[in-house]
Amino acid sequence: MRYWWLAACLPLAFAACSRRAVPAPGGQASKQAPAASRKPGAQPPPPAQSRPALPPVSPEQAILAQPGARLLPEDFDIGPLADWLGGSKAERLARATAARFLAGLAGGKVLDTEILPERREELARSLRYYLDRRLVPSRYRLGPFVELEDGSLRCRVRLFGSGDAASTPGRSPGSTPGSGSGELYLSQAEGTWYVADVQVGLAALGTAAPPRREKYIPSEVR
């Protein structure tokens, strides 16, 4: 009975020796790739190349990327010109009405359908007085719209006379055609924009433009 403890420990020692070791996840056994999966003579894949760095941005490019107001040209008489690509929906519709109306004047016609109904007869008669005397504008310039208290719109406008002195009374050959500046008013009636009033000196189209004596100094772009 002296060696009873030895008989009890022999089965435990035999079970520990017969147990198989299991490699831990992520150990050396999991990192070894099977040799049979690679074809003989095949080259290993090239290492992944890093993307080239972007070129540095110049200060000029950084300034141009900043959001800002649109830079628009200006006229000597009426100031800044209209932004034909911007503005609210109402301004775009009103600007389209003004463009059709002024294009009709350049063609020697008064488009009655673009004039406010209650002002149509009076305004058309006044404009035809100048058109009948060959005081017809050849082109025009519009300024930005200003909304008035009653919801109507007002803008500065400049009309240029024809370049043909022979067709314009009071003009000498070789003279620069005159121009008249003023204001154009537009109102809305039943969801449609109309020309409500035209306050432009059309008589100036028949005179030669006075020579400008001021010195033109271009503005510096900052």
- For the chain, the domains span 74-206
101: left (phi over 0), alpha (psi -120 to 50) or beta: alpha
- Across the range 146-164, mean pLDDT stands at 88
Nearest Cα to 80, choosing from 25, 26, 142? 142
pLDDT at 114 over 60: yes
* CA atoms of 86 and 189, how far apart (whole Å): 23
Tokens 């002195």 locate to 165
- Across the range 105-126, mean pLDDT stands at 94
Q: What is the pLDDT of residue 59?
A: 62
Note the pLDDT tens digit of each residue in 158-214.
998 876 544 555 545 556 777 889 999 999 999 999 999 999 988 888 777 666 666
Q: How far apart are the first and last CA of the chain?
A: 108
pLDDT at 222 over 50: no
**What is the percentage of the chain residues whose pLDDT exceeds 70?**
55
pLDDT at 51 over 50: no
Q: What is the pLDDT of residue 30?
A: 46
Task: Report the Cα 135 to chain-centroid distance in Å.
Answer: 36
Note the pLDDT tens digit of each residue in 9-23.
555 555 555 555 555
Nearest Cα to 180, choosing from 210, 159, 163, 151? 159
| Of 45-54, 127-136, 140-149, 189-198, the least confident | 45-54
Q: What is the pLDDT of residue 161?
A: 85
Q: CATH 3.30.2130.10: does it fit domain 74-206?
A: no
Q: What is the pLDDT of residue 166?
A: 47
